[in-house]
Amino acid sequence: MRSVILAFVLAFVSNAGMAQNANYRNCVDWVEVDPNRALQDSEGWRNAGGGLAARHCRALALATLGDFGQAAQESQSIAAEMPPSEARLDALISAGEYFMAAGDPYSARQQFDLALIDSPNNTEALESRARSLAAAGDMSSAMNDLNTLLSYSPGNVEALTLRAAAKRRLGDHAGAIADADTALQYDPGSAISYFERGAARAVSGDTNGARSDWQTAVSLDPGGPAGDLANANLARLTQ
């Protein structure tokens, strides 16, 4: 979130005078401390002419409160009113991520498409679009984005793990294991990479290897998302 805030400070606040600068920074400060207050303040400020900066703070507050659908709509609207810039790129990617959190990968993909028009081969947008494509079931297109991303950033552990998942779902189990192996070479502590290698080993018939990887994922991420996924799969092995 800090990079997004910085972009908006540069785009809207630095040339808007001390009062506008203080309004934005105060509003953003409240987002993490008391998002309900931040939402209330941002809406009052917006109605008083706070413009895009007020609306951006509102989007941050909505997302912090878990209202990802409204946060996505606000960020999408903000981006639509901006010229190409770092701030617009951040707004588009934020809108896409909020749509993903709201369970709408199709709308998310549209925002990432626009981000990549503004900034072709932007690694963050490529990875995010790959996630949205995978969530929508388009594994082949997700693979294309991940291949492009990894050609620029071969040590990107998240992208390698995502590609392992895509390869597994496309039936390339050996390729999935190879990508997970590479991810773990770069980051031996990646629980999600262990989970994904375990999943690929399981569908390849290597039950013992899968169990070992999932146990490692649980130990690295106890109570976290990767650990929970691994625990669920370990439970299925005993059924």
| pLDDT for position 20 | 60
Q: Check whether residue 127 and residue 196 sit in a common domain.
A: no
Residue 238 and residue 171 share a domain: yes
**In this predicted structure, what is the pLDDT of residue 11?**
52
How many domains does the chain contain in total? 3
- Please state, in angstroms and as integers, the Cα–Cα distance from residue 83 to each residue in 60, 63, 115, 175, following that order: 21, 24, 12, 41
Q: Which residues lie below 8 Å from residue 89, measured CB to CB, with a gap of 6+?
A: 7, 115, 118, 119, 122, 125
Residues 172 and 225 grouped into a single domain: yes
Q: Are 46 and 55 in contact (CB under 8 A)?
A: yes
164 shares its domain with 236: yes
In this structure, which long-range contacts are made by residues 57-62, counting pairs with CB atoms below 8 Å and at least 24 apart in sequence?
A: 57/24, 57/27, 57/28, 57/31, 59/94, 59/98, 60/1, 60/4, 60/5, 60/28, 60/31, 61/27, 61/30, 61/31, 61/35, 61/36
H helical segments located in 81-172: 86-101, 105-118, 123-135, 139-152, 157-169
C-alpha to C-alpha distance for 196 and 174, rounded to whole angstroms = 12
**How far apart are the C-alpha atoms of 211 and 2, rounded to whole Å?**
38
Structural domain span for residue 220: 160-239
Instruction: Examine the domain organization and report whether 3 and 54 are in the same domain.
Output: yes
- The CATH number that applies at residue 228 is 1.25.40.10
What 3-state class would DSSP assign to 181? helix
| Euclidean distance between CA atoms 68 and 102, whole angstroms | 5
* Same domain membership, residue 164 and residue 135: no
Answer yes or no: do 86 and 42 share one domain. Answer: no
Is residue 73 situated within a structural domain?
A: no
Q: Is residue 74 part of a domain?
A: no
Residues 107 and 177 reside in one and the same domain: no
Task: Concatenate the DSSP letters of all residues of 31-50 into one string.
Answer: HHH-HHHHHHHHHHHHHTT-
Show the tokens assigned to 38.
Answer: 């931040």
- Among 104, 120, 153, give the residue marking a domain's end: 153
Final residue before a domain boundary, out of 65, 88, 106: 65
CA dist., res. 23 & res. 55, Å (int): 12
Residue 148, in any domain of the structure: yes
First to last CA, the chain: 42
Within a domain: residue 121? yes
Whose tokens are 């071969």? That residue is 154
Q: Residues near 110 by Cβ (< 8 Å), separated by ≥ 6?
A: 96
Phi and psi angles of residue 116, each rounded to the nearest 5 degrees, phi first = -75, -20
pLDDT at 238: 80
- pLDDT score at 49: 82
Q: What is the pLDDT along the chain (239 residues), one digit of tens a residue?
A: 444 444 554 455 544 454 566 778 888 888 889 999 999 988 998 888 878 888 989 999 999 999 999 999 999 999 999 888 888 999 999 999 999 999 999 999 999 999 999 999 899 999 999 999 999 999 999 999 999 999 999 999 999 999 999 999 999 999 999 999 999 999 999 999 999 999 999 999 999 999 999 999 999 999 999 999 999 999 998 86
